[in-house]
């Protein structure tokens, strides 16, 4: 058995990796902090409410809701349980097959996401979009598509599937 030499990062790759690592820590923390402070929600809870609010029926199968919220099945189940306790979501049996569960946004949940959205969107703009100029948005999008193709080859998360549609 031959031992391979590690493929060490060159100085440019190391610099980019360290910046990306910092971004992966700082951006979710900053978004979570805003949502916690202004709306008493986690980022995943907000995304869950937002995804339900965008549906004409205000409901989604739990598996689809998890995919759209970038959450694993166990994570989305936990988040929906908390949202149920707050009266913002309820679970029902699937009207299609009676086996699966559907998360339904309540009127109170809709009011919560409508009240929370402006502050969250403003923070996303401040942190992600306002610093960009010119072609930066297209370049950032292209890079994310390439990374999502590697990280989520089966497109289990809705963001990956969406990236492939464009």
For the chain, what are the domain ranges? 29-116
Distance CA 41, CA 126 (A): 19
Supply the pLDDT for residue 166. 58
Supply the pLDDT for residue 155. 83
pLDDT category, 89, cuts 50, 70, 90? very high
Provide the strand spans (E) within 7-149. Answer: 59-61, 89-93, 101-105
Angle at which helices 11-39 and 43-53 cross, to 10°:
70
Is 109 or 145 the better-scoring residue by pLDDT? 109
Supply the pLDDT for residue 161. 75
Angle at which helices 43-53 and 107-124 cross, to 10°:
120
Distance CA 85, CA 89 (A): 8
The CA distances from residue 155 to 4, 43, 44, 99, 161, in Å, are 31, 21, 19, 24, 5
Cα angle for residues 41, 46, 50 (degrees, 5° grid): 150
- C-alpha dihedral sign at 55, 160, 90, 40: negative
Of the segments 70-74, 85-89, 100-104, which one has the largest average pLDDT value? 85-89
Tell me if 30 sits within 8 A of 123, measured CB to CB. yes
Our separate counts of H helices and E strands in the chain read: 7, 3
Query: Average pLDDT, whole number, for the chain?
Result: 92
- Torsion of the alpha carbons at 125, 128, 132 and 134, rounded to the nearest 10: -80
Supply the pLDDT for residue 10. 97
The percentage of the chain sitting over the pLDDT mark of 90, rounded to a whole number, equals 78
pLDDT tens digits, 1-38: 668 899 999 999 999 999 999 999 999 999 999 999 99
* DSSP run (H or E) holding 50: helix 43-53
Residues 6+ apart with CB under 8 A from 66: 72, 73, 75, 76
Domain 29-116 of CATH type 2.90.10.10: no
Supply the pLDDT for residue 156. 83
Supply the pLDDT for residue 39. 97
pLDDT tens digits, 118-159: 999 999 999 999 999 999 999 999 999 899 889 988 888 877
Supply the pLDDT for residue 3. 83
pLDDT tens digits, 39-61: 999 999 999 999 999 999 999 99
């Amino acid at each position: 058995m031959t031992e391979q030499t590690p493929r060490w990062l060159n100085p440019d790759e190391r610099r980019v990796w360290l910046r990306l690592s910092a971004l992966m820590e700082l951006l979710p923390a900053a978004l979570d902090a805003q949502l916690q402070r202004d709306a008493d929600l986690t980022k995943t809870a907000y995304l869950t409410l937002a995804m339900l609010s965008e549906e004409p029926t205000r409901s989604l199968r739990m598996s689809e809701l998890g995919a759209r919220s970038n959450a694993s099945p166990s994570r989305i189940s936990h988040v929906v349980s908390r949202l149920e306790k707050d009266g913002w979501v309820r679970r029902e049996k699937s009207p299609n097959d009676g086996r699966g569960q559907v998360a339904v946004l309540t009127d109170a949940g809709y009011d919560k996401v409508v009240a929370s959205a402006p502050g969250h969107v403003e923070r996303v703009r401040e942190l992600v979009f306002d610093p960009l100029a010119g072609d930066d948005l297209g370049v950032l999008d292209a890079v994310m598509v390439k990374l999502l193709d590697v990280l989520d080859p089966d497109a289990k998360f809705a963001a990956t599937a969406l990236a492939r549609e464009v």
